[in-house]
Amino acid sequence: MNIRALSDSELEFCLRSKVSEERKITVEVIRLLEEVNSRNLHLERGYGSLIEYCIRDLGYSESSAYRRVAAMRVAKEIPQVTEALTEGRLSLVVVAQAHTFFKKTAKSKTELGEDKKCEVFKALEQKSAREAEKILLHLLPDLAANEIPKEKIKAVTAEYTQVTMVLHEKLRLKLEELKSLFSHKNSNPSYSELVELLADFALKKLKPEPARIGVETIIESNVKLKTQRNTNAGAALRHNISADAEISVDGCGVRKHISKSLRVEVWRRADHRCTYTDLITGRRCESKFQLQVEHIVPVAKGGTNDLQNLELLCAAHNKLRAIQTFGRSHMQQFTC
């Protein structure tokens, strides 16, 4: 098959077909593992457990082996799970999470019956691993509360200290949002890097003397640097308007600043999310990563700074817009 010769619709159809085949094969593997287990073939082959057999004989990673064996054990008790796996309503990761959860409930003398387990799996359908974890913990809050560790501070080296803590979900979401807001400076900061950024920002705001460089200073520096760097490339890049360099160029080559009030309105209107929408599926991106204010009609093609001509895009979709407007071959000279 010549993949490059496929149209977009043919490519997606082919991909979905292969994903469907992959799910069916995964369920077949689970059924075959059940037969191997019932015959004790893994023991005859000299392995101490079915998971070890999957790792050393079949070549699975430890996590992949555990998920398949866990799904096998769950499917033996609740056959409906295999159908949900085949149809993609449940993932191996979520089924394995549920299996681990059921083992914990059994140890805590609150073992769930088959009917209750079926209800649990119904609630877990179409859920991500993180969403599934929340649902499972919500079922037995007492079990979850007993597992919350206390905060710990431990010196690792003379310069580094390890801090272990448990965050409330509301706080975690706030930190994730801050990661997105800082993504222009660091595309994927670790929590320690994020804490340092926040500490610098807070100290700049709270301390009277300008002893530390804050986030605003960093962004202002990036504006000057990117403006100089992109003077020639800016026109071909559709005069990208990023959150840290929102400047456009008029027909005479004179730079026109997009006012702060306009930028605020664009961000507010977009609900601080990428507004790119697929015309075929109607799906909106909604990413919060490296958001950039962009001209719908490029300045190079007569676009203005009017609010109606501005949109908020993530870096990936901003690049896509440039390719769609100026062509991939033309843009390669700026992205190499």
Chain centre to alpha carbon of residue 166: 21
Average pLDDT rounded to a whole number, residues 215-225: 46
Average pLDDT over residues 300-329: 89
pLDDT category of residue 274 using cuts at 50, 70 and 90 = very high
* pLDDT at res. 247: 45
Structural Rg of the chain based on CA atoms? 27
Question: Pairing between strand 247-249 and 161-164?
Answer: unpaired
pLDDT at site 141:
66
Judged by average pLDDT, the poorest of 104-113, 139-148, 161-170, 204-213 is 204-213
Please state, in angstroms and rounded to a whole number, the distance separating the CA atoms of residues 205 and 29.
Answer: 58
- For the chain, the structural domain boundaries read 3-147, 152-215, 230-335
Average pLDDT over residues 322-333: 80
Q: How far apart are CA 62 and CA 50, in angstroms?
A: 11
pTM of the model: 0.61
- Kindly report the average pLDDT of the chain as a whole number: 82
Averaged pLDDT for residues 324-330: 81
Q: How confident is the model at residue 325 (pLDDT cuts 50, 70, 90)?
A: confident
Confidence class for position 124, pLDDT limits 50, 70, 90 = very high
The pLDDT score that the predictor gives to residue 142 is 64
Which has more pLDDT, 223 or 79? 79
Please tell me the chain's helix, strand, coil percentages from 3-state DSSP, rounded to the nearest 5: 60, 10, 35
Please report the DSSP string for 43-105 in residue order. HHTT-SSHHHHHHHTS---HHHHHHHHHHHHHHHH-THHHHHHHHTSS-HHHHHHHHHHHHHH
